[in-house]
Amino acid sequence: IRRLAERLLSYRVFGDDAGKMNHSLTDTGGGLLLVSQFTLAADTSSGNRPGFSTAAPPEEAERAFNQLVGICREKHRGGVETGRFGAHMVVDLVNDGPVTFLLRP
């Protein structure tokens, strides 16, 4: 989990003056929103319904999520906000550009 937090904070996905992805969240000092979202890792390899059999049990997943939040709060001065683990939430966001990254521990 620590390695994932460090990668998340240092991953260079924000543009520099030339528009090249060259700055990290740590570099920009921006805020971080962490929301648990296990459906992103759904198995969609067969059938018409996503499968979640490889997901961690809820207690284990919540422990890992809370550990990730704690490490990010310890290391990132730009502020870290969270959703409520396991809750149905409406999250409004704006994606800046057509990029999405899936970082795995």
Query: Residue 67 catalytic?
Result: no
Catalytic residue among 39, 44, 54, 100: 39
Catalytic residue among 14, 38, 82, 85: 38
Active site residue 101: no
Cα(71)–Cα(66) distance, integer angstroms = 9
| Residue of 14, 26, 37, 52 marked catalytic | 37
Active centre residues (catalytic): 37-39
